[in-house]
Amino acid sequence: MVDRFSSSGPIYLQLLDHFLIAIVQGTWPPGEKIPSVRQLALQFEVNPNTVQKSLSQLEDLGLAQSQRTAGRFVTTDEDRIEEVRKQLALREVQTFTQSMVQLGVSPERACQLTRDNWPGEGKVDPRLRRQEKE
């Protein structure tokens, strides 16, 4: 799951992103019970209050519902899940396009590079790859 958190933003938002991806990828399918705050806090080695804040945001986004004494469950509203998937994809596209503009890459060339490297095993010169922070 999440190996480590970056220093680029609040941990609760990084957890929220992880939870959102788990839902849109189907790791947490519609209607499934979400692990408890305690389980998630242990799994991610964070304070339970941090997990609680992330899960509350998940509820605010309409992707989870609390059921008294039964816990939290992923929404069964597949249209809502699809809308969130679209919003997450749009966020990534905006980041990508900003980078392409900074590099002076045309929209046509950016599309071609994307098509040529789909689904991910790109042909980037190893000397130019981003180094993972340790």
Burial of 61 (0-12, 13-18, 19+ CB in 10 A): middle
Q: What tens digit of pLDDT does each residue of 105-126 get?
A: 999 999 998 888 887 555 666 6
From residue 85, alpha-carbon distances to 21, 79, 94, 105 in Å are 8, 10, 14, 26
Domain range annotation of the chain: 11-76, 79-117
- Which phi and psi (to 5°) does residue 33 adopt? -70, 130
> What is the spatial distance between Cα 120 and Cα 113, in angstroms, rounded to a whole number?
11
Count how many residues are written for the chain. Answer: 134
On whether the 11-76 domain is CATH 2.40.50.1020, my answer is no
Cis amide prior to 119 (ω within 30 degrees) = yes
Phi/psi zone of residue 29: left (φ > 0), alpha (ψ -120 to 50 degrees), beta? beta
Q: What is the pLDDT of residue 38?
A: 96
pTM of the model: 0.78
- The model's confidence at residue 5, banded by pLDDT at 50, 70 and 90, is confident
- The model's confidence at residue 51, banded by pLDDT at 50, 70 and 90, is very high
Q: What tens digit of pLDDT does each residue of 52-97 get?
A: 999 999 999 999 999 988 999 999 999 999 999 999 999 999 999 9
